[in-house]
Amino acid sequence: MNKKRMANIELLRIVAMIFVVILHYLGKGGTLLPWGDANFMTNTWIAWFIQAFALVAVNVYVLIGGYFLTDSSFKISRILKLWLQIFFYSAGIWLIFLLLGQVPEMYSGAYWVSMFMLPVTSGHYWFASSYIFLCLLAPFLGLAARKMTKKQLMTCIAVLLLLFSRLWRIILPMSTPIDDRGYGILWFVTLFMIAAYIRLHVHIKGKWVKPLLIYVISSVCLFLSLPVIGVITQSIGKMEQFYAVFYEYNAPFTIIGAVALFVAFLNMNIKSDKLGKVINVFASATFGVYLLHEHVLLRNCWTGVWKVQEYYPTSKFILHFIVVVACVYLAGTIIDLIRGLLFGAISKLFRLNKVSDKLSGIDRFFNGDKEEK
């Protein structure tokens, strides 16, 4: 895959992370009032509408990772760099708060110390933990996908969707033990196999309008599901909690929208090399944007610092939404680019590349019969 094509996907990575920030603004900011709430207003409709278009974020981000990991060799250095980046934010932000004496009492004690110092295994960042676990499974999942015929892979995906999507909760008003709402490794594996199918069997023809239109239609359908399901459950009574049953990562409209948006960007062509380089620089900091603003000690900033709930009922809601999302994203990008430079300098100073070379035996173990790339 050439650099121009990669710039397309890296642009989508940026879009996906902007969507993540939007989801957190809306959800943690308290704008997504439940159906039938007495304070339901025009801005509530706007919030749910934006949510419908942004909900594909996590699925898209995992699809991007799965697409590239399907046919790439395992590198333990990749996992270590990812872990160090997570640790940098988790422990670093906690230490800053600790030195300033600003760690709330509820986040003190041995449990929270372990949460900040062992962010992956403790689940400080649910997405980061699941993604690292997926990276560890990727060599085996990729091998399985490559060995399967097209029909076998399609059958595998169908079974995974049947087991781990939100289908059963939509058909029947009941929860199942294996429905993690798209927040766990089981759903990430499902997305990986979908991405593998796209990588191995979907031909890039440069046609992006149709899949982009499918994304828009699926997002609109997701939004319309709110009043439809809301009215039905309200009329039945005692089932109002199912009003947002389609608003999950593993629900049909979200899955269709994510795949369609991914395919649309896959078919786009960025001709400018300069633009491609700029996109790649910004895209390299996307994960840092997530790790910064989703730190446990910063999650309440939406209501505490940014005062979303104060602006939400006013005419300034949209302007506030745009400004805050832009500020959070740009701040996270700048900080992570600085972190990248710091890590690069430390790596050169201590010659950490040699340490990575000494771990090549682990790479060969995971890659099996596959040659190192």
Model confidence pLDDT, tens digit, residues 102-112 = 999 889 889 99
Residue 180: inside a domain: yes
The domain total for the chain is: 1
pLDDT at residue 234 in the model: 80
Angle (CA) 333-339-344 rounded to 5° is 130
Q: How many CB atoms lie within 10 A of CB 149?
A: 9
Residue 45: inside a domain: yes
Residue 105: inside a domain: yes
Model confidence pLDDT, tens digit, residues 300-329 = 899 999 999 999 999 999 999 999 999 999
Amino acid at 140: F
Contact yes or no for 354/67 (Cβ under 8 A):
no
pLDDT at residue 64 in the model: 97
What stretches in the chain show pLDDT beneath 70? 1-5, 172-177, 238-241, 350-361, 363, 366, 368-373
Residue 372: inside a domain: no
pTM score of the predicted model: 0.92
Sign of CA dihedral 89, 90, 95, 101: positive
Domain carrying residue 208: 3-367
Amino acid at 31: T
34-37 long-range contacts (CB < 8 A, ≥24 apart) are 34/240, 34/243, 34/244, 35/226, 35/227, 35/229, 35/230, 35/233, 35/234, 35/240, 35/243, 35/244, 36/230, 36/234, 36/240, 36/243
pLDDT at residue 96 in the model: 96
pLDDT at residue 37 in the model: 85
Residue 337: inside a domain: yes
Residue 59: inside a domain: yes
Contact yes or no for 219/60 (Cβ under 8 A):
no
pLDDT at residue 3 in the model: 46
CA distance 27 to 311: 14
Residue 373: inside a domain: no
Contact yes or no for 317/30 (Cβ under 8 A):
no
Residue 223: inside a domain: yes
Residue 264, helix vs strand vs coil: helix
What angle, rounded to 10 degrees, do the helices at 57-69 and 126-147 form?
40
